Structure 1
Amino acid sequence: MLQDVVRWGCFLVCMAACVESANILFVIPFSAKSHYISLSPIGLELARRGHNVTVITAIAEKNPPPNYHQVMADSPEIWDVLGTEKPNIFTMADMTASEFQDKILWTGGLAMTEVALKSKPVQEFLKQDNKFDLVISEQFYQEALNVLAYKYNAPLALVTTIGNCMRHNLLVGNPLQLATIIGEHLQIRHPSSFTGRLYNMYHVVRDYLDWKYSFLPKQEALVKKYFPELSEAPSLYDIQRNTSLLLINSHFSYDTTAAYLPNIVEIGGIHVTNQSLSGISPDLKKILDESNHGFIYVNFGSNVKSSELPIEKKNTFLKIFKNLKQTVLWKWEDDNLENKPENVVIRKWLPQKDILAHPNIKVFVSHGGLIGTHEVIYYGVPVVGVPIYGDQYYNIVLLEEAGAGKLLMYHDINEKTLGDTLNEVIHDDSYRRNMKELSRRFKDRPMSPIDTAIWWLEYVIRNQGAGYMKNPGRELSWIALYMIDVYVVLAVSMVGIVVAITKVVKLMRSPKSVKKNKKQKAT
């Protein structure tokens, strides 16, 4: 009897320890709304499950749980910190991946990191005597903030908003798989072709070297400037190399299948499955319900504004839309749209998930951002994608390869290409069927994306960083990790063997050797 009491007592103590709330620091100060939409569900869900969450953010959450504490960072637009006027985003369609990296991401990421660190509320927070069981930080050009894991002696978990991160793969010894997995922001139509693999390797290696030897030292300078008390902290390279967990915003059901270490976990669609629909306004609902031929939804995201379309492109869209039987619902950021056809309805803001969930929707005309891509997959809506920058091209190519959408390059837009592409996706039912199948696979998981993320974050906390999940290969040089030294020795040995055999054969065939053989036969 006493043994049973003790056993049950131990069980209850263990359960209490397992569900005890943790102190978690969530670092997401980048001011882009799309990033916040993708990341905020993690912090909010952790708080709803009883954890004490402190979030460093540039975007305030309305009506958060009482145990969700917000430290507000300044929130300028990236163009402000770059010291340039905001361009017409459609002009960025001309940028190569390297130009986008060099002109926007490296410089902007560094500047936005410093904006966060010198924000007064953040400075006041850092002076406090806080303790955390886990630090979660966005993996997006803000490496100086990873030093907070060292400051609070806590495991570090990273989370991406753009899927796989090739630099992190190199850092922690995850297989690169360059023959099939392309680097971020690249526009490669056929990754497995020779030219595709060659360009992919060039970009990935160049990106890694630029990051390690140019960008990372500048982030180190921010650590020295804003954390002078952490003079003995490991390098940012080593801090990230010892990351306990990386949550990536992708899923094998639609993305290229890849091999991952156990501490790299896919959570693609995390913002879709955890939020209820907000509801369409009655007037708009009436319009969509009464669209007998269905409707087309046009939205280029929060950063790319349709109202900035050059006049010739805008007129092309209007001419094509005018000839369609379907209603066109267009997110248009200005009050008026000149020469708007009767079947076109404009709004400055639209509840996108509600629109995509409506039964009368036929096609989504999109820029191919990852948030919208996950939403169309979840709701099973075919896509006509017009990529502008970043990962958008790759996202649309994945849908096109699945037969669930069509790629239309921005500079290729004219009345024929736009009309043909729209009509094909509208009238060919295979696009809808293929997208519905993609949706079914996307949803078919043992746990929802948010449950997956929370389970693994809590796993890291329960297991004090779960160091045993980390690849021991991260401690090796790249020469040892990728067996370059072994291959060189084998190659040299093979060459040596071939040379030796060649010399022996030549020696045996030499005149002296032949003459000697003849003499031996004569005797």
Structure 2
Amino acid sequence: SMALTRFSGIVILFLHLILLTSHCDGGNILVFPVDGSHWINMKILLEELHTRGHNISVIRSSTSWYIPEKSPLYTSITIEMDEGLENFFDIYLQEHMRAQREGASLLTFLKLTKDFLSMITQAHLVWCNATIQIFQNPILVKNLKESQYDLVLADPAMGPGLVLAKYLELPLVLNVRWITSGEGHFILAPSPLSYIPVPGSGLTDKMDFIQRVKNFFFYSIIKFQEKFLVGPIYDNMCNKYIEGGCDIVSLLQGADIWLFRSDFVFEFPRPTMPNVVYIGGFQCKPAQPLPADLEEFVQSAGEHGVIIMTLGTLVNALPKEVADEIASVFAKMPQKVIWRHKGDHPSTLGNNTLIVDWMPQKDLLGHPQIKVFVAHGGTNGVQEAIYYGVPVLGIPLFFDQYDNLLRLQERGAAKIIQLADVNGHTFEKTIKELLHKVSYRENMQRLSSLHRDQPMPPMDQATFWVEYVMRHKGAPHLRTEAYGMPWYSYYCFDVLIFLVTAVTLPLFSIFAIAKFLCCRRKKRTKTKQS
């Protein structure tokens, strides 16, 4: 009888466990990522969602250079793409660096802007043409509709994921900092140009009159890109495949949750919206031990410490003369150096410098021996430097990198050298300043302390809100009605006209009546006199 009671208890406990776990069933998530460095942080989010039991499908191109077809994390849906974007970007970036080395001028700026807009437009066009294959494939469309996805998770730097979510009538979560035309906040929340710098402008939130003129000019470039270059590409696709049509701005504004890869330790304060969740640094976690050979190299630096350098995933090689100058400075220093560098080794390389094709960047940044991080200023690297508290020597190359580094420099945690100004003298002077002036490390560690002091880690916030959208089948209650208002209503221009009319019309009427009576009296007086 005792054995039977114990057995029944085990059965009841087992049934309870089954019932409890049934409430934690994973959802079905359709992911439309962007390749390159954007995929790196999307993959980190997918790893976390996968561990929480969610089933993930990823749409990728046949020419993808970062997103593998086979993965334990997800099932892939591959669409054919006629041309890969890797070489396309590489040609642009090499040309961009060459132009930067020639020095800043109005002509160089106009050429780089034209090349950038042309490249971005071409990338959107290629992706839209590839995505049309989905809509034209009835079997694939049927499978997508029958897969019972709970939501679409997309990176809106490219827009097809938004169009697909609309087509499938699914809730939409964005893993975002950049949208199809610039930075996400500008179409999401009020963005006064008087104190909110436009990316690319190289400005801060403290602007004088001339700087505000410059800020307005850069905003005009973004609006031009949105209205005349990128917008029409998506308009055409929407008009053809979405009933009633749509446009890319309304699709962005219609997203349920924005997982924004930034925070206000890094970003300048600005207006925001209730459906924006700030997850800056979500990819960061305590550093893991280094591989034995790398740990030995790092420890061999002794009290002088180690400098690490990487210029991101898109840059295959710096111009040879720049690499040689940097290597010669490193060779003279007492620190050890780990340099992620592709291409031919610099001829001036010193014995203290280890050249690698890849480095465990986060684990190195979290190592107490690392003194300075020489970086290009990509979003991921900057946020990792903040998390681990390592001061940065920034060499921005393109896109948002200067603006990212400027935010650190403004807070006294980094120093920027423009590529055109990099030479042995400037590089040596700047890196020694970062090594020996303690304020840089103190300021960065203060930012690190602020960033870590949160009620919930950024990754937990990200997964909570993804699952929130699953549970509630969207989050329309967090979206403002302002997006549907015409501009004259949004700015109360119609109200202003009404009030001005309401005040001036009676005054004008009184004035007109008084004038009429006055004229009539004068007329009577003249008649009597005659």
Identify whether the pair has TM-score above 0.5, normalized to the shorter chain: yes
Q: Structure 2: how far apart are the matches of 1:441 and 1:348?
A: 33
How far is the alpha carbon of 1:498 from its aligned partner?
A: 11
**Cα distance change of structure 1 residues 171 and 256 upon mapping to structure 2, 3 Å threshold:** closer
Secondary structure of 1:358's aligned partner: coil
How far is the alpha carbon of 1:189 from its aligned partner?
A: 5.1
Task: Give the counterpart of 2:327 among 318, 336, 339.
Answer: 318
Q: Counterpart of 2:168?
A: 152
| 1:55 corresponds to 2:51 | no
Q: Structure 2: how far apart are the matches of 1:497 and 1:98?
A: 53
Task: Give the counterpart of 2:35 among 31, 34, 38.
Answer: 31
Q: Structure 2: how far apart are the matches of 1:331 and 1:453?
A: 30
Counterpart mapping for 1:27-176 below 5 A: 27-28=32-33, 30-32=34-36, 34-57=37-60, 58=64, 59-60=66-67, 64-65=71-72, 68-73=74-79, 77-78=84-85, 80=87, 87-88=94-95, 90-91=97-98, 93=100, 95=109, 98-99=113-114, 101-115=116-130, 117-118=132-133, 125-128=140-143, 129-140=146-157, 142-162=158-178, 168-169=184-185, 171-172=187-188, 174-176=189-191
Q: Structure 2: how far apart are the matches of 1:434 and 1:62?
A: 43
Q: Structure 1: how far apart are the matches of 2:202 and 2:457?
A: 30
Q: Structure 1: how far apart are the matches of 2:511 and 2:438?
A: 65
Q: Counterpart of 1:515?
A: none
- Contact kept, 8 Å, 2:374 with 2:395, in 1: the verdict is yes
Give the aligned residue type for 2:163: V
- Contact kept, 8 Å, 1:137 with 1:146, in 2: the verdict is yes
- Contact kept, 8 Å, 2:328 with 2:348, in 1: the verdict is no
**Cα distance change of structure 1 residues 272 and 26 upon mapping to structure 2, 3 Å threshold:** same
How far is the alpha carbon of 1:266 from its aligned partner?
A: 0.9
**Cα distance change of structure 1 residues 351 and 263 upon mapping to structure 2, 3 Å threshold:** same
Q: Structure 1: how far apart are the matches of 2:52 and 2:357?
A: 35
**Cα distance change of structure 1 residues 492 and 366 upon mapping to structure 2, 3 Å threshold:** farther
User: When the two structures are superposed, what TM-score results if normalisation uses the length of structure 2?
Assistant: 0.80
Bigger drift between 175-184 and 216-225 goes to 216-225
**Cα distance change of structure 1 residues 328 and 82 upon mapping to structure 2, 3 Å threshold:** closer
Task: Give the counterpart of 1:355 among 364, 371, 391.
Answer: 364
Secondary structure of 1:19's aligned partner: coil
User: When the two structures are superposed, what TM-score results if normalisation uses the length of structure 1?
Assistant: 0.81
Q: Counterpart of 2:231?
A: 216
Q: Structure 1: how far apart are the matches of 2:332 and 2:294?
A: 22
Bigger drift between 84-93 and 344-353 goes to 84-93
Unaligned runs of 5+ in 2: 1-15, 101-107, 513-530
How far is the alpha carbon of 1:95 from its aligned partner?
A: 4.8
- Contact kept, 8 Å, 1:380 with 1:436, in 2: the verdict is yes
Q: Percent identity?
A: 27
Q: Counterpart of 1:281?
A: 291
Q: Counterpart of 2:525?
A: none
Secondary structure of 2:94's aligned partner: coil
- Contact kept, 8 Å, 2:378 with 2:400, in 1: the verdict is yes
| 1:199 corresponds to 2:214 | yes
- Contact kept, 8 Å, 1:334 with 1:348, in 2: the verdict is no
Q: Structure 1: how far apart are the matches of 2:135 and 2:292?
A: 43
Q: Structure 1: how far apart are the matches of 2:486 and 2:182?
A: 17
**Cα distance change of structure 1 residues 355 and 491 upon mapping to structure 2, 3 Å threshold:** farther
Task: Give the counterpart of 1:271 among 276, 283, 295.
Answer: 283
- Contact kept, 8 Å, 1:158 with 1:243, in 2: the verdict is yes
C-alpha RMSD of the superposition:
3.9
How far is the alpha carbon of 1:441 from its aligned partner?
A: 0.9
**Cα distance change of structure 1 residues 325 and 314 upon mapping to structure 2, 3 Å threshold:** same
